[in-house]
């Protein structure tokens, strides 16, 4: 199962494009709400979540996805239940994905592995470096181990396809890419 965490002020493109791309690969996705069933993004698009963050019970192989948007990242950081999921997903047996401003949350939470290669929204990479990570700002997405990071809203398709590749394989990612008429 893939859980995409939605807190007030989340970046809609990063959350919804990612969910769409994953579902095109027939991967199970739940939009997981923080603080309510209806969550409004940074551009005033309100989305109905499928499950509250408090009821998520991760199983081995599950993935937690953190969209950016400064408000959304703050919502995740201020939610005890969301942060418990993030910490669990940072451990062995799970996948963790963060895009835009969300990788900085991983740095602040102390779950960003030392010397890990990653990417975030330009201008925020100092936080990653201070945590001991190696920002790769010339990349759209970076996959290292069970951590996938993406640069920003314009990287949402690349990010979603990177998630499909780790969860369902390169063939599934290529098939979704072809169906989208998207060129990497």
118 an active-site residue?
no
Q: Which of 100, 118, 120, 177 is catalytic?
A: 100
All residues at 6 or more sequence positions from 139 whose CB lies less than 8 Å from its CB, including other chains? 119, 151
Residue 173, number of CB atoms within 10 A of its CB? 21
Rounded distance between C-alpha atoms, residue 28 and residue 22, angstroms:
8
DSSP, collapsed to helix, strand or coil, labels residue 4 as strand
Say if residues 70 and 8 touch (Cβ distance below 8 Å).
no
The DSSP bridge pattern shows strands 46-48 and 38-40 to be: antiparallel
Rounded distance between C-alpha atoms, residue 60 and residue 72, angstroms:
26
Catalytic amino acids? Answer: 100
């Amino acid at each position: 199962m893939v859980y995409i965490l939605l807190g007030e002020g989340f970046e809609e493109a990063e959350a919804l494009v990612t969910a769409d791309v994953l579902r095109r690969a027939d991967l199970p996705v739940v939009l997981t709400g923080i603080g309510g069933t209806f969550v409004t993004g940074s551009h005033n698009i309100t989305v109905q979540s499928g499950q509250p963050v408090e009821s998520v019970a991760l199983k081995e192989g599950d993935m937690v996805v953190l969209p950016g948007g400064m408000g959304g990242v703050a919502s995740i950081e201020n939610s005890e239940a969301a942060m418990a999921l993030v910490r669990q997903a940072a451990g062995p047996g799970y996948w963790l994905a963060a895009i835009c401003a969300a990788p900085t949350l991983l740095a602040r939470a102390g779950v960003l592995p030392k010397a890990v290669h990653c990417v975030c929204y330009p201008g925020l990479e100092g936080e990653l470096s201070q945590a001991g990570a190696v920002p790769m700002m010339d990349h759209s997405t970076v996959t290292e181990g069970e951590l996938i990071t993406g640069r920003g809203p314009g990287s949402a398709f690349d990010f979603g396809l990177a998630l499909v590749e780790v969860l369902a394989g390169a063939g599934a990612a290529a098939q979704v890419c072809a169906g989208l008429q998207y060129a990497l």
